[in-house]
Amino acid sequence: MDGVHDMGGMHGMGPVEIEENEPVFHGEWEERMFALNNAVSALGVRNIDESRHARERVNPAKYLGSSYYEIWLDGLIRILSEKGVISEEELSGTVPPKAFTGEHRPALTPENVDPMMEKGANYIRETGKSASFKVGDQVKARNIHPQGHTRLPRYARGATGEVVSDQGLHVFADSSAHGCEDPQHLYTVRFSSRALWGTDGHDNDAIYVDLWDDHLEAVK
């Protein structure tokens, strides 16, 4: 979706502040937020793309004024509320929190944390849409402005690049964020920095973006 979260290539945000010897977490609550967000996966009530879309819907002013894990917290509350796992009354403390009544898949125990984090998740699929492009094709990123989730960054829309790799069939994140996997081919597309940034680019620089079939159109 178009929103303040899609900050790639935006001007006026000031320099990136690099914190020397930055710790992994700046406080205990960030550790807990990281743990909660991953433990919720065992409930099976949302996927990674739904989580991203929930964070995209943070109020724009709040988004810009929030830290990384504050945005995670806002998104987690939103998705669990929408899925009926928690209620406004429970959040406000009006009523005691209820135990989750669904099926854990399985519950995340302390000894399983490291194996789960190391394993990650697999979004490759065996069946789906036929490939529209092949390595070497010139393609243009579609100039779309969806109301829902999209992994097509705003800075690449309308730019022309070259397919350098076909990663095979993957769950289409744009659809997955709304409950439908819609597997299709995922390509690595090379864009020259000139194509993206114009005179601010450099002849020797390129940006590689992973994009799905529905993000691209053929260059005629």
Q: What is the pLDDT of residue 2?
A: 82
Please give the model's pTM, rounded to 2 decimal places.
0.89
Q: Give the model's pLDDT for residue 89.
A: 93
Look at residue 7 in the predicted model and tell me its pLDDT. Answer: 85
**What ranges do the domains of the chain cover?**
28-119, 138-218
Full 3-state SS string of the chain: CCCCCCCCCCCCCCCCCCCCCCCCCCCHHHHHHHHHHHHHHHHCCCCHHHHHHHHHCCCHHHHHCCCHHHHHHHHHHHHHHHCCCCCHHHHHCCCCCCCCCCCCCCCCCHHHHHHHHHHCCCCECCCCCCCCCCCCCEEEECCCCCCCCCCCCHHHCCCEEEEEEEEEEECCHHHHCCCCCCCEEEEEEEEEHHHHHHHHCCCCCEEEEEEEHHHEEECC
Domain topology for 138-218: SH3 type barrels. (2.30.30)
pLDDT mean values, one per 10 residues, the chain (220 residues): 83 86 95 91 90 95 94 96 93 89 77 85 95 98 94 96 98 96 98 94 95 96
Any idea which architecture 28-119 has in CATH? Orthogonal Bundle (1.10)
